[in-house]
Structure 1
Amino acid sequence: MAIKVHGNPLSPAAQRVLLCLAEKDIEYEFVYVDLATGQQKKEPFISINPFGQIPAFEDGDLKLFESRAITKYIAYAYADKGTPLLVEDPKKMALIQVWSEVEAQRFDAAGQKLSFEILVKPIKCWATDEALVEQLQAQLATVLDVYEKRLAQSKYLAGDNFSLADLNHVPRINNLMKTKVRALFEQRPHVWAWCADILGRPAWQKVLAGLN
């Protein structure tokens, strides 16, 4: 099989890549990386991602790391398969890029840290920094206020069609829905409807089924 994804099923970054492949209906080999034992620092994984982080990706002789770069490659390289995630129209493509940047630089900047404080730290028996959690929730609320206004104008962030900008949110939102942060989404009706839509997509349900 030409495509390989090196990752851990608990990693939202790895899940992001798996979701993109599912939306494109592309077969792949999943290479399990054990984060607890440090197996990710061994070959061949480290030869693909020199930072020793997941996921790492192979498509024939092409080797990539950084999940958003990987999903963008998949969307371009396999544009004729499955769900269209990018478009040729430059204005529409610009909107996809804008909201993709917002996801990476603003939404996930707060969401990743919240997940670490609320989900990861308790598993490791570390104390949650409640003051930091409050600060991060305020940051995320500000982002979601912008989303609420945007989603009052269009079904998805970049327009009326599901795109890479929406897809990249899915794993992090799925994790946050398991926490008290869920209330921030519920309080905003357009955001809540958007979440229900993207979390309910068949491709994401397929990914979740494969992780269990």
Structure 2
Amino acid sequence: MAKEMTLLWGSGSPPCWRVMIALEEKNLQGYKQKMLSFEKMEHKSEEVMKMNPRGQLPAFKHGEHVLNESYAACLYLENQFKSQGSKLIPECPAELAMMYQRAFEGQTLAQKMADVIYYNWKVPEGERHDSAVKRNREALSAELKLWEGYLQKGSGCFLAGKCFTMADVIVFPTIAYVFRFGLSEERYPKLAAYYNCLKDRPSIKKSWPPTWQESQGQETLKDL
């Protein structure tokens, strides 16, 4: 089954990482894969564009089925391989509702994170404003405090109930990313506890971004 799969990915990309975590959780090792460089613009290569005309990573294919949106790929893998590996979608209605809510809420967290971390890259120099930087940082701080509160009310290491679910597959890479960029563990202790609880989970450890192992993180978010 895994031999029929191909994944083109970039190191450190949360969307790529969550697909890799899902593949590990479903015991789908042995798929064809290729790490590409964002810095070298390899995500715009002909190889990628054939699978994903948006020129983005991940680019994922199973047989003739192409899924380039990471949420779609993760949900597809769980649906197609329900009886294999970890069960990522709970049956309990309350946990199911919470899983979907947190998973899709993760998009807002990821966007607000990107607005801060990639502001100078996305916005031309002549269009940058200190007021926008301040506004984006305040929005991300408020969002992180919301997630800190979610974890304060929850129990254990997981976002949606007592077990690792699709919500964790989807959101953990974003949480790891904010700590990679210097978020204070003391200021956000529940988020830090969540991060530290899951970072050694086999699926996460095995798919850990190789470039993160080779270099230090940044301090963009240290004062947030």
TM-score bracket for this pair, using the shorter chain length: 0.7 to 0.9
Q: For residue 195 of structure 1, what is the aligned residue in structure 2?
A: 195
Match in the other structure for 1:21:
23
Correspondences of 1:40-119 after superposition (within 5 Å): 40-104=43-107, 106-117=108-119
Report the counterpart of residue 162 of structure 2 in structure 1: 160
TM-score (norm 2): 0.77
Over 3 Å counting, the alpha-carbon distance change for 1:11 and 1:59 in structure 2 is same
Distance in structure 2 (CA, Å) of the matches to 1:129 and 1:173? 27
Residues paired across the two proteins, number: 205
DSSP-derived class of the 2:207 partner: helix
CA distance in 2, matches of 1:197, 1:77: 28
Structure 1 pair 21/131, CA: closer, same or farther in 2 (3 Å)?
A: farther
- Show structure 2 runs of 5+ residues with no match: 123-127, 214-224
The answer as to whether partners of 1:24 and 1:78 remain within 8 angstroms in 2 is yes
Once the two structures are superposed, what CA deviation does each residue of 1:104-154 show, in whole Å capped at 9, x if it has no partner? 1x2111112233248x79xxxxxx976544433322222222223322232
| Partner AA of 1:199 in structure 2 | K
Aligned to 1:171: 173
The more displaced of 62-71 and 25-34 is 25-34
1:204 maps to 2:204: yes
Superposed counterparts of 1:134-149, under 5 Å: 134-149=134-149
| SS of 1:15 mapped into structure 2 | helix
Residues 30-65 of structure 1: per-residue CA shift (max 9 Å, x gap):
123344454444444323212111111111121111
Change (3 A) 1:10 1:153: closer
Q: Distance in 2 between matches of 1:110 and 1:189?
A: 20
Distance 1:55 1:206, change over 3 A: same
Deviation of the 1:206 alpha carbon = 0.8
Does 2:33 correspond to 1:30?
Answer: yes
Q: Could you state the TM-score of these two structures normalised by the residue count of structure 1? A: 0.81
Alignment CA distance shift 1:186-1:72 (3 Å): farther
Q: Is the 8 A contact 2:175 2:191 kept in 1?
A: no
Match of 1:5 in 2: 7
Which amino acid is 1:149 matched to?
A: G
Q: What are the ranges of 5 or more consecutive residues in structure 1 without an aligned counterpart? A: 122-127
**Residue type at the aligned position of 1:101:** F
Q: Secondary structure at the match of 2:180?
A: coil
**What SS class does the counterpart of residue 172 from structure 1 fall into?**
helix
Please say which of residues 150-159 and 36-45 is displaced more in the overlay.
36-45
Instruction: Give SS of 1:83's match.
Output: coil
What amino acid does structure 1 have at the position aligned with 2:82? A
